Amino acid sequence: MIATRYLQDLGWRAFFQSQLVGEGPDSVRPARVLAVHRGRIDVAGEAVPGSIELSGHSAELGIAVGDWVLVDSSGPRVTRVLDRFGVFKRRSAGTVAETQLIAANVDTLFIVTSANRDFNVARLERYLAIAYEAGAFPVIVITKADMVDSVDEFVSRAAHLSPGLLVEALDARDVDAVDVLRPFCEPGQTVALLGSSGVGKSTLINTLAGTHQDTKAVRGDDQRGRHTTTGRSMHPLSTGGWLIDTPGMRELQLVDVGDALDDVFAEVFSLAEACRFSDCSHESEPGCAVLAAIEQGELDPERLRRYRKLLAEDRRNTETLAERRTRDKHFGKKIKTILSDKRKEKGRKQ
């Protein structure tokens, strides 16, 4: 099958085309997933229904917004999810060790924060790790620039997080100001927005897409926002591209982003290569280049602390459920042995 202009405008490219070699009957056609609901998905494609019920095998495929799927229109049913060139994911909330898919096949990630108390360097580092792991180009968008005397400090702090990082400060309601983001929204391009509630994501979408999503003001007492978006979906843009909105996520537990953290904290990773020991933990080891840089004022100790924290979190969340149960079981046996020895020792003393 040769991709048409319509499919290309949806984001179809050679990476997906190459996966169709030897594919089945003509009734099976590619479609882009625009929204995922409980038990069904909304899709766009040629000669496919706009909504498809998920049941049986198709419900177990782990479909995310932005995925490309193959649809047997005679069903209609989803027969396959095509391989992704990248996916945003996080550890699901709660105690169950599962991974939640956020969006797939995204070219650019707009990391949205605001010029107020929501601005949080540690949270931006999390979002950057997700972007790098998914192979998306990150752009930090600082909204509500019109509400402060100067955005220079916000821009400077964000720009120093990663070499060559693009940072834009703007009023999300201003059409002219938002034009700086439109080169990322050309036909065939997919952008996604990540940010906590109340930073102006819905306002930014309204301006970019010309839609009218509900928006809510931040709370006056703490400048934190109220949730407006409650699901993930793709929106067509007037420039021809597509935009994926996500719910506000103040809690974003990292999973399987270890290599990306080395990119986010590139200066720490570079220094670590000069440490005397290859397994240096950068705590008290002799010959630690990272600690030496801190002593010389070349590295912010808070930056190292956040790096360690995210590494530990990623390792913990990346464990499989079976591995975690085995580890907890061994730990439980160790505790029981210690308590038993203590009781025996106490008995001998009596």
| Model pTM score | 0.81
Q: Tell the residue number behind the tokens 């397994």, with chain if given.
A: 279
What is the CB-side half-sphere exposure of residue 324 using CA atoms within 13 A? 11
Residue 125 has pLDDT above 80, yes or no: yes
Considering the domain 5-81 in this protein, what is its CATH number? 2.40.50
Distances in Å between the alpha carbon of 182 and those of 110, 238, 241, 254? 12, 9, 9, 29
Architecture of domain 265-318: Orthogonal Bundle (1.10)
Q: What is the pLDDT of residues 241-259, one digit of tens each?
A: 999 977 655 457 888 887 8
Domain ranges of the chain: 5-81, 87-245, 265-318, 322-350
Report the top-level CATH class of 87-245.
alpha beta
Give the SS3 label for residue 64. Answer: coil
Beta-sheet pairing, 87-91 with 77-81: unpaired
Q: DSSP readout, 118-180? A: T--HHHHHHHHHHHHHTTPEEEEEEE-GGGSS--HHHHHHHHTTSTT-EEEE--TT-HHHHGG
How far, rounded to the nearest angstrom, does the alpha carbon of residue 73 sit from its chain's CA centroid? 32
The reported pLDDT for the residue numbered 323 is: 60
Distances in Å between the alpha carbon of 323 and those of 173, 260, 316, 328, 337? 48, 23, 10, 9, 21
Q: What is the pLDDT of residues 57-116, one digit of tens each?
A: 767 889 999 999 999 888 888 989 999 999 988 776 655 567 788 899 999 999 999 999
Q: What is the pLDDT of residues 299-330, one digit of tens each?
A: 999 999 999 999 988 888 887 655 655 655 55
